[in-house]
Amino acid sequence: MPNGACIKKDCTVASTGICLDLIKPVTECPNFIPAADVSVVDTDIVETSESTSPEPAHELTPALKSQPTIGRRFHAGTELGIYDAAELMRGHYSHLIGVLGQTDAGKTAFLSALYLMASRGWLKPDYIFAGGLTLQGFEDRVRRVREWENGQLADKFMLHTQLGDARSPSFMNLAIKELRAKKRRIELLLTDLPGEWTSSLVRRIETATRFSFFKRADGIIYAIDGPLLAEASSRHVEVHNAKLLLARLLHSPIVTSDTPLVLLLTKSDELNMVAPPATTQIVDEATKLGFKPKLILSSSFSRKPAIIESGTGVIEAISYIINHETVPRIRKDDLRSIPSTNRMFGRFHAD
């Protein structure tokens, strides 16, 4: 969304991004004023004539230039679109984490658990909550978690994820602060994609283009339904889909094999935190493709909280990605451009 406003009275470019005169890009429109150049503009702007230089009703005084500008947008707080996320990333490094998985795998539950843990101070001793632009979005997701039936969580307490724009991803934003080590402020951008996106990617490779933003991903969390993987009637399908998805991620290409990959086995409280044997096939496939997968058993909302805490595995998955160390790549072709020297000093190499 362009950051600015229009002098023309009825133009809504500031909120829609579309120029009233359909000029593209909108910054080329002579009536468009970038946000930084806009002072308080009196709303009694005269109707524009046929001329290309409309005049404001009142002249701007220098004092007004220090006032807050119009055209500044405030985030609705539910989700961030791709342009909003890009604006955030412009100022501070943000860890973009792609959360993938089939429908009902537990992706939204994972995000909700992260939010609830942050809000309760349960990220300690390593992290504390440090802000976020989509707190309302998190709240909307966890609302049903707070509705219990006869002292029990409902069977289905997460709403099915739907995107505002079906073609464009949305991001949840949460900032956490390290309490140890470097005490960094870590900005997290987590995707909350409908399960249909993952299913489509598995079925149709041409849908890979909508995952192009994953090229910027600092890591991938692939949520796999633990009980389905354990069940005899469904595990072969789950394994097959997982293998296909991993291959799609690499070969489309959506990510590179050095992208940190977490295989998150969800609802593991129902498995007593024991990974079913079929998990090995998925881990092996990921390894064969060149990934270095990290298997984490998680339970976002435990059905046996006395035995297995809710939120198990959640911060471990995040921590694995944000603390992942990349290995420097040596470009051998550049080293070849160094001319050999006939001086002895030039040939001294330490082991």
Q: Which is nearer to another protein, 82 or 154 (CB)?
A: 82
H or E segment to which residue 110 belongs? helix 107-119
Q: How far is the CB of 342 from another protein (least distance, A)?
A: 5
Choose one: 57-65, 73-81, 87-95, 125-133; the region binding another protein (CB under 8 A). Answer: 87-95
In the list 18, 35, 128, 205, the residue contacting another protein (rule: CB under 8 A) is: 35
Q: Which is nearer to another protein, 44 or 348 (CB)?
A: 348
Q: Considering the rule CB under 8 A, would residue 89 count as an interface residue with another protein? A: yes
Asked if residue 99 lies in contact with residue 194, where contact means CB atoms within 8 angstroms, the answer is no
Q: How far is the CB of 316 from another protein (least distance, A)?
A: 16
Q: Considering the rule CB under 8 A, would residue 253 count as an interface residue with another protein? A: no
Q: Which two structure tokens, joined as six digits, stand for 291?
A: 């990934």
Q: Considering the rule CB under 8 A, would residue 337 count as an interface residue with another protein? A: yes
In the list 156, 167, 180, 331, the residue contacting another protein (rule: CB under 8 A) is: 331
Transcribe 283-335 into DSSP letters.
HHHHHHTT--EEEEE-BSS-S-TTTS-TTBTHHHHHHHHHTPPPPPPP-HHHH
Q: Considering the rule CB under 8 A, would residue 328 count as an interface residue with another protein? A: yes
Backbone angles phi, psi at 327, to 5 degrees: -95, 135
Q: How far is the CB of 76 from another protein (least distance, A)?
A: 19
Q: How far is the CB of 131 from another protein (least distance, A)?
A: 13
Asked if residue 266 lies in contact with residue 226, where contact means CB atoms within 8 angstroms, the answer is yes
Residue 248 corresponds to which amino acid? R
- Binding-residue pattern over the window 254 to 283 for another protein, x denoting contact by CB under 8 A: ------x-----------------------
Q: How far is the CB of 139 from another protein (least distance, A)?
A: 26
Q: Which is nearer to another protein, 156 or 349 (CB)?
A: 349
Asked if residue 218 lies in contact with residue 260, where contact means CB atoms within 8 angstroms, the answer is yes
Q: Considering the rule CB under 8 A, would residue 2 count as an interface residue with another protein? A: yes
Q: Considering the rule CB under 8 A, would residue 95 count as an interface residue with another protein? A: yes
Cα dihedral sign, 331-332-336-338? positive
Q: How far is the CB of 276 from another protein (least distance, A)?
A: 31
Backbone angles phi, psi at 73, to 5 degrees: -105, 145
Query: Cα separation of 185 and 279, whole Å?
Result: 34
Compute how many other C-beta atoms are within 10 angstroms of the C-beta atom of residue 319: 18
Asked if residue 104 lies in contact with residue 225, where contact means CB atoms within 8 angstroms, the answer is yes
In the list 9, 15, 25, 179, the residue contacting another protein (rule: CB under 8 A) is: 25
Q: Which is nearer to another protein, 256 or 272 (CB)?
A: 256
In the list 9, 65, 92, 146, the residue contacting another protein (rule: CB under 8 A) is: 92
Q: Considering the rule CB under 8 A, would residue 167 count as an interface residue with another protein? A: no
Site size for another protein (CB under 8 A): 51
Q: How far is the CB of 244 from another protein (least distance, A)?
A: 24
Compute how many other C-beta atoms are within 10 angstroms of the C-beta atom of residue 100: 24
Burial 217-243 (b: 16+ CB within 10 A, else e): bbbbbbbbbbbbbbeeeebeebbebbb
Query: Cα separation of 259 and 216, whole Å?
Result: 10
Q: How far is the CB of 3 from another protein (least distance, A)?
A: 4
Q: Considering the rule CB under 8 A, would residue 340 count as an interface residue with another protein? A: yes
From 56, 114, 142, select the one nearest 313 (Cα to Cα). 114
Q: Considering the rule CB under 8 A, would residue 121 count as an interface residue with another protein? A: no
From 230, 221, 256, select the one nearest 110 (Cα to Cα). 221
Query: Cα separation of 289 and 42, whole Å?
Result: 60
From 166, 202, 198, select the one nearest 100 (Cα to Cα). 198
Q: Considering the rule CB under 8 A, would residue 74 count as an interface residue with another protein? A: no
Interacting residue ranges for another protein, rule: CB under 8 A: 2-4, 25, 27, 34-37, 86-87, 89-93, 95, 182, 184, 212-213, 215-216, 218-219, 260, 322-326, 328-331, 334-335, 337-350
